[in-house]
Chains A and B, each alone.
Chain A
Amino acid sequence: MDDVIQPAPTLAMRLIFEYEGDRVQLVDQMPVDLLITGFDLTRTQRAGYYLDTRDASGQTLARVPARNVFSTSTEVFPEQPGELITRVEVPVPRGAFTVVAPAPSGADSVSLVRVAPGARDATQLAARAAGAAGAALATTEVARFALQISR
């Protein structure tokens, strides 16, 4: 190609969360030059925790998975090859996790949401993809945080 360009990437934000019990707080957020692949840009609904980027009206613009959230157990690894990995309960879920979320034009906040196991596909994103309006939401919002974006 004689005249190759690259389109401007979508702005992304790295967010660092800390949780204890069922409480979660955003401890850090910063813009990051990082491309988010389709692997993490959720188009279908599956059980788990997700971070939704939302505009000022609450419309979901993008959704990425939030892994290692509210872990109630942890893995214990064997010292010798061939021995078993096991899990142990933790008395109080406590820890931190990070998510890199797209922050397209109009992004105003992020919501940590939980999709219950077995929930039907009913997110705003999926509803939009399906061309359906007003599909019932099976998603629970855990917490919402304002984005501080300087473009």
Chain B
Amino acid sequence: MTVTITVNGTDHTLDVDPATPLLYVLRDDLELNGAKYGCGLGQCGACTVHIDGKPAFSCLTPVGAVAGRRIRTVEGLGSTQAPGLLQQAFETEQAAQCGYCIAGMLMRAQALLDRNPDPDEAQIRAHMQTNLCRCGTHMRILRAIRRAVAMRKGIQAAQEARP
């Protein structure tokens, strides 16, 4: 059976069982290896991607369920050469240790910033609660998110100051 999905703005038509988890399709068929397989139970968040702008566990999302919907992965935030703002903040704060959870962390955090560009600490913590880091870099991850918020404000202020 063929399923057409839209990932980072590009349509892909795949011959695949619609019950296959989206994560497998992203990694095995589209070679988008950012999202990771952590627990496979929706408990860790390493597989987080956006579906229509909202963070979701791709390990528990049947690919048939997202036909025709907008999927965004960490590859959609930026590249090694041109990292996105949140990715830059994660790099500056050295938020990654082993890095396995980071793609999920980035996508989870990006979903918050897309909805609320200036979240307070409590909102950040509540939002990030579903994603786990076994290395224990949560404090650095929180710092990176705060940095991204500040960076965006700085860019905005600079733009407004321009004559």
Asked if A pairs with B, the answer is: no
